[in-house]
A and B are shown apart, each in its own frame.
Chain A
Amino acid sequence: MSHRIVLASSKGGSGKTTTALNLSVALAERGHNTIVVDLDPQGAIGLFLAKEDSDWGGLAEVMIAGTPPSEVLQSTSLPTLRILPRGRIDPVDTCEYELQLHRGEVLSRTLDEIEEGVDYVVLDTPSGLGPVTRAALAVSRFALLPLQAEPVAFRTMSQILRVIDHVQQNENPSLRLLGILPTMVRLDSDPSLNVMSAVWSGFGGVLDTVVPRADVFTETSEIGIPLSFLGGRTRPEARRFTLLSDEIEARINRMTGVEDDNEHRRLV
């Protein structure tokens, strides 16, 4: 059975898409069959990868034309990673897309159809607490919350946590907070450090891995590739997502009661 992980945040620009994409790549590079699903009406994953807005069919074709989901899954150069794009949505139909995604069962049906043999499904959502985020939370087991390490983003944390609590209580009892991922962390900046101090000292589920603020993220989005695909020397930030995938895998194993098979070794 695949593990569905929703990236959610009430504040925009917190690193949801960057995390969704690079985490999916890291999981796939570890050998896990992974699908990243672009639920953002703006098609954030496609835009990140420098695709034209109408290049890829996707969820919209499934919803509007009844296209089988398997026909719109995009392969990548990683055999273990595929992308379910947003599809060719007319921007003026964004409201209808969001409402239909929330009201209907199209999302759960679509995921059911593509999950055979898949280890992880990573769902990238739009910013905010609207219908798409709610729909994704309603059909998923795990919520991963990128927290931009700055005061305004920090103050919005209660909003998304409140929604997760509500969905867990009323719609999806299996939903769990997988973790809070600090992003854009700058420990040389007082406001960022203050946020991190508050998070580390009192919040539950904070991941050990943090994603620092770095120019390399802008560089990769300009080229349209994930971090680990950058040429030249390996960037330390790419290593962060390998660590993140390890931590998430271990945490999911712990939350689902799976034994960790990394036993101690003997040197002599």
Chain B
Amino acid sequence: MTTNTVGSSDVDIARALSRRLSGLEPGSEPRIAVESPYLRFDPSRPEATPAGELTDEPLNDFTRWDEFLAWGLNKVRSSAAFVIDPQGFVIGSSGNVPEDGFEGTGAELSYVMSQADSMNPEMGGLRFIALGFANRRLSGFRAGVAGGEGFVVAFVDAEGFNKTTRQQIARQLEHSFSVLL
């Protein structure tokens, strides 16, 4: 055998990842602290508008919030989603939900959206908000905003947001809202 020519930092990363992801190696570390060597695209970058027929997607007749959340998670490629009732309580969540849930985040998001309502009354109630934090992105849709209160559906780190998917979520939420109350 000649000199090994396949060693590199990429291989070191691959070796560590393979050990952890396989979960089969005894004594493997649960998580590697490898700083990503890659650049990331800004997920909030504008995307090309997909074909027009997507906006005509038939509406679903969801009867439960978990059905709505599962559909929404898939639609926007989000890691987690949750629903907040008009009092600011989380009444449903799905996806990669943290151990302590979304109660605190949900209450603050609900408060932020209600604060934004007062920005300019002529603009009407806030329907959608997208917040970019250093480590997370949070998007919220609100339905039933008459009187400044409503249910909020929030998505964490959604990757598939564009104008069309945003419209589809909003349309579906308006359609399902009265049933899901």
Q: List residues of chain A with CB under 8 Å of any chain B CB.
A: 96, 99-100, 102-105, 108, 138, 151, 154-155, 157-158, 161-162, 164-165, 168-171, 173, 176-177, 179-180, 190-191, 193-195, 197-198, 202-206, 251, 254-255
Contact = CB atoms under 8 A, between A and B. Distances in A.
B166 to A, nearest CB: 13
B99 to A, nearest CB: 13
B18 interface: yes
Interface core residue of A103, A180, A190 (most chain B CB under 10 Å): A103
A198 B7 CA distance: 8
Top 3 A-B pairs, shortest CB-CB distance: A205-B22, A204-B19, A177-B21
Given A105-B75, A176-B23, 9 more contacts: A99-B50, A157-B10, A157-B11, A171-B77, A195-B6, A203-B19, A204-B15, A204-B23, A255-B23
A151 B8 CA distance: 11
Interface string B58-101: 00000000000001001101010000000000000000100000
A166 to B, nearest CB: 10
Nearest to B51: A96
B149 interface: no
Contacts of A190: 1-2
Most chain A CB within a 10 A radius of its CB, from B14, B23, B25: B14
B120 interface: no
Contacts of B1: 190, 193-194, 197
Contacts of B6: 151, 154-155, 194-195, 198
A155 B11 contact: yes
Given A154-B6, A198-B4, A204 B24 contact: yes
Given A105-B75, A155-B11, A173-B96, A204 B28 contact: yes
Given A170-B157, A205-B24, A158 B10 contact: yes
Contacts of A191: 5
Contacts of B51: 96
B22 A177 contact: yes
Interface residues of B, number: 36
B10 A155 contact: yes
Task: Tell me the dominant secondary structure on chain A's binding face.
Answer: helix
Contact of B2 (A164, A173, A177, A194): A194
Nearest to B57: A104
7 contacts: A103-B77, A158-B17, A165-B21, A194-B1, A198-B6, A205-B21, A206-B18
B105 interface: no
B152 to A, nearest CB: 22
B18 A177 contact: yes
A63 to B, nearest CB: 12
A203 B5 contact: no
Interface in B22-36: 22-25, 28, 36
B13 interface: yes
A96 B54 CA distance: 12
Given A105-B74, A108-B74, A155-B10, A161 B2 contact: no
B14 A158 contact: yes
Q: Which of B18, B25, B36 has its CB near the most chain A CB atoms (within 10 A)? A: B18
Contact of A197 (B4, B19, B21, B23): B4
Contacts of B24: 204-205, 251, 254-255
